[in-house]
Chains A and B, each alone.
Chain A
């Protein structure tokens, strides 16, 4: 059987299409109580007093606790530690983040008190009865304004609100490139704040066993082991061997469920305090003011270009908004996942990048689909388009001129990364062909004759996926290595349980990992069951994010399967009285035989049983058939893409219609084309959301103006045409599967592709750049302004 490369239907689907998903919110335990959290309405304020008497007296309320209770501990539930940051470059200053605020609240949504009651309705009623006397303090929300003189200082220990300053590249060489450049293309841009909006709001439940002192925590998380580690080592203080964290079915993450959240501390702490199971489920309104946000950069960038269109230098300065606290991986995003990608698909001899990470009175910002890489691609591909326009070179041609040639891999960029493999010219050829680019341009010219605003945009983007190896990521600041675990356990009757440290929250690992293991062992897929998301069942894993699951988690399974093959091959050699070197493991049929004698084969099931029967084995061989691997990748992988879109703008309203979207991606080897295509298309739609509609918008007082689905505009079904997708496949040499990572490429590429298309549509009006989101209103204003003789 061969499954890898085939569009196998997903084995997880039957439960979801019949309403049997096991989400945390569905969990019901005997004696369960319900928690609700009182949240700050102020961006920054001192808590002068909290009066919870009325709440405590409401019938059905079990208890009310404040931040001070958690920090100091009470009789049955000891003190909680502060929530740590898991990625800190040298000299990073980390503000103290208590699970519930003590003395000062630092963003709208910061937790102040928790109520636990007999029902969720009562708990929410009681929250409204708590009276808090706040003394409002001056707030700052803008990443750059926070670092300026005179800005309110949020924390004594963080001067100028600047948590870290990170640089990469060769400043002198870059300065020289600019002093010698024929053209300097400059751009000030804002990469706006986004709110992830996984469809399942976060939820946490916890059950304490007071006799064995064991805690079980259910949380909608992308990486249960990291949550257990942080709960045990920092926040809750329960030993890891008495702490079980379960992430059952998780309804989407997009990064937002990687991080250690306050509720993961509060809920088990309360469960221990009252000795009853407790559940908390976020309302969507709560998600908006507590889930980590994404992006939020203020950037000045410039590209040095020769007259013939050759790029000679890139210089970027970015203020990255970290929000009120440093979320688990926050400093990683605008540093090692951002500046390191500034070379894009191109040979740019000199690059210099600087990031200031600033704290503000807003929700913490962390990884959101793409995480640093869409921000890098956005600025680079906007600059490239502006260069093409200024030099009057076609947007495909200027890119072709600067591409890294396919025979120069592995390619060392000036910003630390060594690209693994690629054929970037083939990407652009293919997307040009699939899109019918030349015809698109003709169509556009005709439309312009008629006064219509039609635009064609393209992008060529790079991504760094599957970060590793561990010595590299830890030297950059990660508090943990980024390997992955995988156990292949063969049962006596020959079927297989696979335990992976990766976590699926929509990616379909139960299917793709089964395809991989079934092929490795030569078994039908039905014989392979994937288990994930439970720290008591799987070895320490580092979870799913950064498009790492197939490359690292999948590779761990390949290695474990190899160990299984090796053992049963040895066993078969012993039983068939042949030399091991003469044995053949038939991966088509799952049999082992002596070379030339396939008729006298041993089946996988026979051999599996023999390892448990354990009576006729070679000397020194242990009984049982199980293999464990902790796989550490040799390097990142580098997916890449070329996308083209055609849009039309309604002159009267400014509304953008996407007429065509064509995507060509190289995500390395593909395990399941149906699933990869789903990731690419879903990613594109999410990326377009940033370009056209989505904006986590704060007013100057730190109030979130887009705090619900009514005013945060998510992409809808009727905003899109059907898309055309194509593929170029250059296997990554950095893992045994040759895969690169498919989860984020669509998002990274789509955001700037549509931005370039819209700017192209507006080019005849003299509009050079507009910041996202490119809402109808903003475009309409630009049209009006250009018609009145103004320019942008």
Chain B
């Protein structure tokens, strides 16, 4: 059985028929070829697949494509505008906030929402806010620095 969905991703509306069990992350990666959203686990722990769904950060491995029907989704590919990096992307680059890069899209998407909700976060608030995103490379310290820098840039 397939059901029709209409999902706006990075400003472009997509209409497809999907299996009801299809995860949003598979819709993005396989249905639309937007492979920037990575899959790091199958238990909703790692946060690599984080995207924005109607302005809220969600783990797209725990969201069905049908749940996003009629919604607006932003992925890492939709963050830069007109070729200009988002302040969070720039901050990750400037502060060595990534090594292998696999957790990075999810980490950046989570961090963007963290700073939107709390424009002047302390280190502790950043660390707490990102505890749902695993990074195995950086030890998190430069990610915290990056988020803080991006928050400062937004002032």
Contacts and interface: CB of A to CB of B under 8 A. Distances in A.
A binds B: yes
A284 B40 contact: yes
B20 to A, nearest CB: 12
B136 A16 contact: no
**Dominant SS among interface residues on chain B:** loop
Contacts of B139: 678, 681-686, 715, 720, 723, 746
Interface in B97-140: 98-105, 108, 123-124, 126-128, 130-131, 133-140
Nearest to A723: B141
Interface residues of A, number: 57
A249 B99 CA distance: 11
A382 to B, nearest CB: 23
Given A18-B77, A717-B130, A682 B99 contact: yes
Contacts of B69: none
A736 interface: no
A722 B93 contact: no
Given A17-B93, A717-B127, A717-B140, A710 B105 contact: no
Interface stretch (A100-108, A195-203, A325-333): A195-203
Interface in B130-155: 130-131, 133-144
A201 B139 CA distance: 19
A717 B136 contact: no
Interface in A212-261: 249-252, 254
B140 A23 contact: no
From B35, B80, B139, B143, residue with most partner A Cβ within 10 Å: B139
Interface string B24-56: 000001000111111111110110100000000
Interface string A8-38: 0110111111111101011010000000000
A506 interface: yes
Interface residues on B, range: 35 or more
B89 A18 contact: yes
Interface string B80-91: 100001000100
Interface in A685-723: 685-686, 708-710, 714-718, 720, 722-723
Contact of B92 (A17, A197, A252): A17
A709 B136 contact: no
Given A200-B38, A678-B142, A17 B85 contact: yes
Contacts of B72: none
A680 to B, nearest CB: 8
Contact of B99 (A19, A121, A678, A720): A678
B110 to A, nearest CB: 10
A556 interface: no
A682 B137 contact: yes
Nearest to B138: A682
Nearest to A714: B134
Contacts of B103: 199, 251
A199 B46 contact: yes
B96 A16 contact: no
A781 interface: no
A16 B140 contact: no
Given A13-B93, A709-B45, A18 B136 contact: no
Contacts of A14: 93
Nearest to A251: B102
Contacts of A507: 99
A723 B34 CA distance: 36
Contacts of B76: 17-19
Contact of A19 (B39, B41, B75, B142): B75
A28 B26 CA distance: 13
Interface in A275-301: 281, 283-285
Nearest to A675: B96
A505 interface: yes
B17 interface: no
A50 interface: no
Contact of B138 (A25, A285, A678): A678
A708 B134 contact: no
14 contacts: A10-B96, A15-B101, A16-B104, A19-B37, A199-B134, A200-B102, A251-B38, A252-B99, A254-B136, A285-B42, A685-B140, A716-B131, A717-B130, A717-B143
Interface of B: 19, 21-22, 29, 33-43, 45-46, 48, 75-77, 79-80, 85, 89, 92-94, 96, 98-105, 108, 123-124, 126-128, 130-131, 133-144
The 9 closest A-B pairs by CB, nearest first: A19-B36, A251-B102, A16-B101, A506-B100, A685-B139, A19-B76, A709-B45, A506-B99, A26-B35
